[in-house]
Chains A and B, each alone.
Chain A
Amino acid sequence: MRVRVVAFARVRELVGGEPALLRDVSEGATAGAVWDELVRDFPSLAGLERSTRLARNGSFVDRSARLNEGDELALLPPYGGG
């Protein structure tokens, strides 16, 4: 299945700089599994796991959350607005 990964700020830069990536992942993959695959492709992400929150279709999720075809997984580093 295919999911859309959106990343921001430093995390976006480390996954290639594009605002969104389409990723083919195994059926029923979890948010954490997609993160782990990204770390394999972009090893400099490895140290950021603790500070990066995950959201599925706009809501925070744990690593164990299962994704569906077409879901948007957001990688959210600590905020800096204001």
Chain B
Amino acid sequence: MVELTERPLELEPLIAAVRSDSCGAVVAFLGVVRDISDDARPVSGLTYEAYPEMALLEMRAIVAEASAKFGEASVALVHRVGALELGEASVAIAVAAPHRGVAFDACEYVIDELKRRVAIWKQEHYLEGAATWRVNTLEE
């Protein structure tokens, strides 16, 4: 399961999509809209936009790589687009694998590579009214 969606994200469908009797570990991750920016400005919400033609191809490639690198892990990846309020999830990942170590590793790989390689952009809206397009850095 790899998708872009304008609807609120829920983990349960992703977990259901990846789990199987051969997998002893399921790791789930949500990226969530925070109330403060990295430079300590109060945030009121985020807007995400994507170039779906490129984003979906790269998301599928990352999922395939994670599965190949980390013990045939089964991976689901969904990213939200549009306007998000505080506390809403922007990205959801579920990974199932035979053991927990590879499941955690695969999940981290997917979120790190998504931030670096996927054609999605994020605008931060601040409480005082301004807005900025935020670029991912390696440390985030």
Please list the residues of chain A having a beta carbon within 8 angstroms of any beta carbon in chain B: 6, 8-10, 12, 55, 58, 74, 76-82
Contact = CB atoms under 8 A, between A and B. Distances in A.
Contact of A9 (B31, B53, B123): B123
A55 B119 CA distance: 11
Contacts of B54: 55, 58, 74, 76
B1 interface: no
Q: Looking at B111, B117, B122, which has the most chain A CB atoms within 10 Å of its CB?
A: B122
Given A58-B57, A78-B136, A6 B79 contact: no
Given A79-B120, A81-B55, A81-B121, 13 more contacts: A8-B121, A12-B49, A74-B119, A76-B51, A76-B54, A77-B135, A79-B115, A79-B118, A79-B119, A80-B122, A81-B90, A81-B114, A82-B115
Interface in B30-76: 31, 48-51, 53-55, 57
Contacts of B116: 79
B122 A81 contact: yes
A9 B91 contact: no
A16 to B, nearest CB: 15
B53 A80 contact: no
Q: How large is the interface on B (under 10, 10 to 19, 20 to 34, 35 or more residues)?
A: 20 to 34
A78 B116 CA distance: 9
A3 B133 CA distance: 26
Nearest to A19: B49
A67 B134 CA distance: 30
A76 B55 CA distance: 12
A5 to B, nearest CB: 12
A81 B57 contact: no
B140 interface: yes
Nearest to B117: A79
A80 B111 contact: no
A81 B51 contact: no
Nearest to A59: B54
A77 B121 contact: yes
